[in-house]
Amino acid sequence: MKAEQIMKKQVIKVKEDASVRFVIEKFIENGISGVPVVNDGNEIVGYISDGDIMRFIGKHKENILNAFYYVTVLQGDDDEFEERARKILDYNVMKVAKKTVYTVNWDEDMEKIAYILGKKQIKKLPVERDGILVGIISRGDVIRRAFEFLI
């Protein structure tokens, strides 16, 4: 089975000039947690997820001491957190999005897709054809298709 047979063709995406506020609105409107970021030619230039946003607003500093790894939360009141949350809304999506995006070609085998999703611990894979975004595949899509004989 190939990517084109299991991918969703209606992809919710955002343009590279969008604000993080716009992205969050898309997440809320559509009940999703991540979207590809595309340029005017519909080429994938990034991917932003709720985790990327959480990493920004949950800012912390890291200390390494005596071979143990400690994470020390920044000291301060809730205003620092709220200020970071407010501030990020007006950021350009590309300031927060990942620029390295795992993708698959439209004719990729489902076994390789399952391997990538599992190995890279990602939830969704954008699907490209000739460098252009044409679909998206989630872990759930693969599981449903792989085990549809149970239904």
Residue by residue, pLDDT tens for the chain (151 residues) are 999 999 999 999 999 999 999 999 999 999 999 999 999 999 999 999 999 998 888 865 444 444 444 444 444 445 577 887 888 999 999 999 999 999 999 999 999 999 999 999 999 999 999 999 999 999 999 999 989 877 7
Report pLDDT for 81.
76
Rounded to the nearest 10°, the torsion over CA 29, 33, 37, 40 is -20
Confidence (pTM): 0.81
Report CA torsion sign: 62, 94, 132, 14. positive
Report pLDDT for 74.
44
Report CA torsion sign: 1, 122, 140, 133. negative
Report pLDDT for 121.
93
- What is the CATH architecture assignment of 3-150? Roll (3.10)
Q: Where are the domains of the chain?
A: 3-150
124-129 and 104-105 as β-strands: parallel, antiparallel, unpaired? parallel
Tokens 């143990």 correspond to what residue? 68
Measured CA to CA, the distance from residue 52 to residue 40 in angstroms comes to 23
